[in-house]
Structure 1
């Protein structure tokens, strides 16, 4: 009868150490492939538009000479493979094209508008986390083991309703109540700290409701774990059990969803910025679509898409650092 021999500690350590390089290569490869697909889709966008995109952008009254000159300056008269190579080469040096309407480099417009969008999305994400994590923990503790069924039902119903409201409709309601009726807060522009309040609330309430439900569910599972029961048997204070023992073990799933919510918040700024006349990329892309400024639309889509992909990659890396067993060790 043979007995299993445990592998030497050195071999185990080497196996664990080799996981990180493989993880980094996998995630980097996925990111590069996703970026290539995004860039290719953005390039094809302008070529899939029916008719002549330059004529469409300049309008029917533009002269044939002006249209021809603009097509030549955009490189649209070259063969498609040549245009694609030139497009990739331009992106590598930071050339995102030139706006048809303003004749400004698209990267200059993005550089001016991006900080407003980034600050709005990050503040909304921080606000959502600050609301949802304490709320989820409190609801889990209050409704543990079937207690306070009415409170649980009210929380579940209200969170589902809030998360189902589109953020731009919530923004319109906030403008009508707090901006127009009560006159408490500004409703348009980026004029100071108070101008952030309404758009941040409009962006963050829905994600906060979703995240609070996830935190509650994860906390309920952790509160019944053996190590939490051991902490109770040691008569540790309730706040210490909940905050230092249970909460850190419940945040992994919440962090995963939180990263996805941050990506959705970035995309959600497109409509919310237009509700509040916010001078960011969201209002820029809508204006570019309305004026048929396709190079500007192309560049803005690239920035939004790349931002979401990078956020997801960063979340994967953070999750791997917090719990290597679930992410780094996957094949």
Structure 2
């Protein structure tokens, strides 16, 4: 466990360093950041005064060192566009994004696993064809396009759900569907492929020879061995979930950190962008730790390998 924690901290520190460096140089290569939030006709004196107050008049190396220091101390400064501390602004809307991401991830895992088990057991027939076609469509449709279609059909035409905002559970249905369809489709196909691979192993044949019910064989014996690639995919998808949240929150006007980050990028609000990236790195690292712990809980062999590697 200690080895896993140290590895996670090292990955987190490296991620913060690389991401912060990338943000710093990209923003400065794009020109004077003050042009992102000050009017074009601002006088040179006022612009220079703002640059001096924000520390933008310092040498580039000094700004870079201060930028990295702020990243590791979680002090991101004052938001140029929101007129408040950047960390406070991001943390204020982060629960809305976390709520959407957690429900979307759990929904994707549940739906994907169930569809994967069903399609692995039904090798032919209309149900298997429909479910397979659905997963292919889910992998092919971009999230923003799916979100637009959902709004047009269920919000504009049918009026079943609101098209924007976060007023109650009904307003979460369409964003969660748009955020869930792609990962659920991928998990379903991973589970189905691995279920069919596990099906031919000797211990599954033995379980069936003992007269165990088909459902018991599928859910108790096959699934724990077939679900590990899907669990690993959840960890890999965590970073993509952040990018997906930016798109989905923009489509549905969801008041989350993704929408704020997009607006900050358009206005070149470096403190908010910096806070968003560091917070995202922390969240992705925590998700991957949970994924590793889940994988070790499912497969005892992974726990044994951790113990052996620690012993050596």
Tell me if both proteins adopt one fold, taking TM over 0.5 as the criterion.
yes
- Pick closer, same or farther for the CA change 1:110–1:321 going to 2, 3 Å: same
Of 182, 193, 202 in structure 2, the residue corresponding to residue 226 of structure 1 is 202
Q: For 2:268 and 2:13, how far apart are their aligned partners in 1?
A: 29
Gaps of 5+ in 2: none
CA–CA distance in structure 2, aligned partners of residues 128 and 60 of structure 1:
46
Which runs of 5 or more structure 1 residues have no equivalent in the other structure? 1-19
Query: What is aligned with 2:253?
Result: 277
Aligned in 2, Cα 1:234/1:284: closer, same or farther, shift over 3 Å?
A: same
Partner of 1:110: 90
The answer as to whether partners of 1:97 and 1:299 remain within 8 angstroms in 2 is no
Runs of 4+ in 1 over 3 A off after TM superposition: 20-28, 149-158, 320-331
> Closer, same or farther in 2 for the Cα pair 1:32/1:113, shift >3 Å?
same
Offset at 1:271? 0.7
The superposition leaves residues 180-238 of structure 1 with CA deviations (integer Å, 9 ceiling, x where unpaired) of 00011111101111110000001101111111000101111122221111111111122
Q: CA deviation at 1:117?
A: 0.6
1:125 to 2:105 alignment: yes
SS in structure 2 opposite 1:47? helix
Note the aligned Cα RMSD (angstroms). Answer: 2.3
Higher mean C-alpha displacement, 173-182 vs 25-34: 25-34
1:269, 1:282 within 8 Å by CA — same for their partners in 2? yes
Aligned residues: 307
Alignment of 1:78-89 (within 5 A): 78-89=58-69
Aligned 8 A contact 2:120 2:193 in 1: yes
2:8 and 2:120 mapped to 1: Cα distance? Answer: 34
Q: Work out the CA distance in 2 between the residues paired with 1:101 and 1:23.
A: 39
Return the TM-score normalized by structure 2: 0.89
Shift, 1:296, TM fit: 2.2
**Counterparts of 1:22 and 1:154, CA distance in 2:** 45
Whichever of the two has the greater Rg, that structure is 1
Q: Distance in 2 between matches of 1:85 and 1:31?
A: 18
Contact kept, 8 Å, 1:263 with 1:311, in 2: the verdict is no
